[in-house]
A and B are shown apart, each in its own frame.
Chain A
Amino acid sequence: GNSVTQMEGPVTLSEEAFLTINCTYTATGYPSLFWYVQYPGEGLQLLLKATKADDKGSNKGFEATYRKETTSFHLEKGSVQVSDSAVYFCALSEDNYGQNFVFGPGTRLSVLP
């Protein structure tokens, strides 16, 4: 079946550090890929997405590139802020009608001032 693997957390960084959160996936077809973010006490929000190979999704300084050859969708940000502290979820959606929408386990990021 489909699955998403993320790097284990928590990740603790100092403000202005470079962030990478690794995400790899297994899918039987050609999925769309997503990064969602969950701030404390809130629901998940879409951060960025990519629907085909080599697409780059970007938002709020975060970016991720759909790499079909390595089945990866790593999240990066050049300079993190304290306000980026949250849990980040990688996800895929393979089929229409929302089927096989699979989330990774989440990676908790803490940014220290």
Chain B
Amino acid sequence: DAGVIQSPRHEVTEMGQEVTLRCKPISGHNSLFWYRQTMMRGLELLIYFNNNVPIDDSGMPEDRFSAKMPNASFSTLKIQPSEPRDSAVYFCASSFGAARGDTQYFGPGTRLTVL
């Protein structure tokens, strides 16, 4: 299996622009997670889906952030408008099930820089 695929790997944009990050989970996995990693705050869970349905979005920082999962093989995280404080590495992860012992498999991440 190719693992979790994220695109783009790097994104540089200007403040106010819309940014869309993409994720393809591992085939057969039913849960998908979006994380943000910064030096100051570490790894933060933004939102997760189970069977394409958002279960918990309490980690989404504000209304500028939105996430969708239109089908089992694709998810997007959108920031509109972007701000410099959104600069971070964004990770997507997927897991086979939703049990507490299930392993999350991470993608390589998207490094976002907002100027």
Contacts and interface: CB of A to CB of B under 8 A. Distances in A.
Interface in B35-56: 42-43, 45, 48, 50, 55-56
Contact of A46 (B45, B50, B56, B103): B103
Given A32-B101, A51-B101, A93-B100, 14 more contacts: A36-B106, A43-B108, A44-B93, A49-B103, A96-B98, A97-B55, A98-B31, A98-B33, A98-B50, A99-B55, A99-B56, A101-B33, A103-B42, A106-B43
A105 to B, nearest CB: 5
A89 interface: yes
Given A44-B91, A98-B31, A98-B55, A89 B100 contact: no
Contacts, number: 61
A95 B4 contact: no
Contacts of B102: 93, 98
Interface string B84-99: 0000000101010011
Contacts of B105: 46
Question: Which of the four size classes fits the interface of chain A?
Answer: 20 to 34
Nearest to A34: B103
A95 B98 CA distance: 9
A43 B109 contact: yes
Contacts of A98: 31, 33, 48, 50, 55, 95, 98, 102, 104
B100 A44 contact: no
A43 B104 contact: no
A105 B45 CA distance: 13
B107 interface: yes
Contact of A105 (B42, B56, B103): B42
B43 A89 contact: yes
A63 to B, nearest CB: 17
